[in-house]
Chain A
């Protein structure tokens, strides 16, 4: 798709396992952000990674950026049932707006 892809579309894991979600993009970016959306709620910002950064951490979240592959990954370690949500990446494609995709739906079973 024009905006890039997030994969997998859906992911089911057990509590305590790690969850990895991927985000690809088509052309160069300045910034890429990850958001979480709980069912029936608005999106909540998780982490920002800039094009000159390769990795960032925030608590149990680890985001990587590979500009040569035009992709980013979000890793949630030691997942909990409360991590169940949809996760979106947003790329700016060197423009003044953030382009979201369709997200990855994560289900964490207790």
Chain B
């Protein structure tokens, strides 16, 4: 079983559309994250949730809205997609959210906005 799974793996869409990326972890972790990796491979944290509560909310346009229905799931909804949103989005989880804990990453969702 995949520890952190995210769907879809590829997402191609037009500017202005709304899309969602889903993430699930079966590790029993309390904390989940969304990271964005741009074309230069720079990986930037967007959000983190601990037990369904928002902990980290970086300077991200409010078109991006994370939702955590339970601690095993963290979905990312993006409204009014823009060209600059094209990137690879990674979901990750860790046991409690401390910075000495390992992050477990999903395999990524490559979003292409045309």
Contact = CB atoms under 8 A, between A and B. Distances in A.
Contacts of B44: 100
A43 B56 contact: no
A96 B94 CA distance: 12
B105 interface: yes
Contacts of B55: 96
B78 interface: no
A92 B103 CA distance: 13
Nearest to B50: A96
B40 A97 contact: no
Contact of B40 (A45, A92, A102): A102
Taking each of A30, A43, A50, A102, which has the highest tally of chain B beta carbons within 10 Å of its own beta carbon?
A: A43
Interface residues of B, number: 24
Contacts of A101: 42-43
Interface of B: 4, 35, 40-45, 48, 55-56, 90, 92, 97-100, 102-108
Given A40-B108, A96-B99, A103-B43, 20 more contacts: A30-B99, A30-B100, A31-B100, A40-B107, A41-B108, A42-B4, A42-B105, A42-B108, A43-B43, A43-B90, A43-B105, A45-B102, A45-B103, A86-B41, A96-B98, A97-B99, A100-B42, A100-B43, A100-B45, A102-B40
Interface of A: 30-31, 33, 35, 40-45, 48, 50, 86, 88, 90, 92, 95-103, 105
26 contacts: A33-B103, A40-B107, A40-B108, A41-B107, A41-B108, A42-B92, A42-B105, A42-B108, A43-B43, A43-B90, A45-B104, A48-B102, A50-B100, A90-B103, A96-B55, A96-B56, A96-B99, A97-B45, A97-B99, A98-B45, A100-B44, A101-B42, A101-B43, A102-B41, A103-B41, A103-B43
